Amino acid sequence: MEANRNVVAFQIIENARRLYDYTNRNPAFLDLDTHFPEYKILEENWEMIRDEILEVIEASEIPEFHEIDSGQEFISNNDNKAWNVFVMKCYNMWLHHNAEKCPKTLALFKDMKRVTTINFSILAPGKYIPPHRGPYKGIMRYQLPLEVPKNGECYIIVDGRRHYWHEGESVLFDDTYTHEVHNKTEERRIALLLDVKRNDFGPFMRIFDWLFFKLFQAVIIACGGLKKGKTY
């Protein structure tokens, strides 16, 4: 997130992260049962979710991440290997033209009000995502692997800790920690990625976080990110 951003935006993000870190400290990897117990519903239905997104991938052209957000080019367009992203919801704003393509998956999120972003991440064989940090500590990043390479190593490193994905097994982490991804295989990897809103802030941080979240929404709208996320 740091690259391809102007200096003012970078300083705002850095100062906000320092405030979040000062008021709310947590480890890189987070306990699912404590922070997002709804993961059990998704794990119970992971094969259905997988089958539905596979139909979309087969029928549609999924944009690469940097085509949706040019500020992500340094991690998305860095090695001539594709990182495609199918966005259903972004910072509480729905991309209905995409969400309607996955009606069964969409139904699972009916009562998950804290899920602010829903997308599918498709890593091409050999894809490497270099170290980077997320801009916003008001969310936790959830991943549900749907298709994981059978031969070779495919994993994420968060704050120096390596995690290997396994199909249908969830992981939750704070993406403001430095993290990177390696797909050292000849197979693709598909995962459901969610942003889950934190609910452990004190009174002051709840107000600050509400304002900061609204700022991100405004930036996404101004930059046309929702339109770019459309699948044609």
Read off the pLDDT of residues 144-177 as tens digits, 9 standing for 90 and up.
Answer: 999 999 999 999 999 999 999 999 999 999 999 9
Answer whether 129's CB lies under 8 Å from 163's CB: no
Dihedral angle computed from the Cα positions of residues 143, 68, 66 and 183, in that order, rounded to the nearest 10 degrees: 20
* Contact between 188 and 81 (Cβ < 8 Å): no
Per-position b or e across 168-205, b if 16+ CB within 10 A of its CB:
bebbbbbbbbebebbbebebbbbbbbbbbbbeebeeeb
In angstroms, the Cα distances linking 222 to 75, 215, 219, 226, 228 are 22, 11, 5, 10, 12
What pLDDT, in 10s, does the model give residues 62-101? 999 999 988 889 999 999 999 999 999 999 999 999 999 9
Beta strands in the chain (DSSP E): 83-90, 93-94, 115-123, 128-132, 139-147, 153-158, 161-164, 171-173, 179-184, 189-197
Low-confidence winner among 25-39, 92-106, 217-231 (lowest mean pLDDT)? 217-231
Tokens 């052209």 belong to: 61
**Strand pairing class (115-123; 171-173):** unpaired
Q: Each residue of 46-72: b (16+ CB within 10 Å) or e?
A: beebbebbeebbeeeebbbbbbbbebb
Q: Which CATH architecture has domain 7-228?
A: Sandwich (2.60)
No. of H helices and E strands in the chain? 10, 10
Q: Which amino acid is at 91?
A: Y
Q: Is the pLDDT of residue 135 over 60?
A: yes
Q: What is the pLDDT of residue 74?
A: 92
Helix, strand, coil abundance in the chain, percent, nearest 5: 35, 25, 35
> What's the number of CA atoms in the CB half-sphere (13 Å) around residue 171?
20
- Is residue 112's pLDDT more than 70? yes
Hey, which residues does 143 pair with through a beta bridge?
171, 193
pLDDT band at 206 (very low <50, low <70, confident <90, very high): very high
Q: Which secondary structure element, helix H or strand E, spans residue 8, and what is its range?
A: helix 7-23
Contact of 155 with 17, CB cutoff 8 Å: no
Q: What is the pTM of this model?
A: 0.92
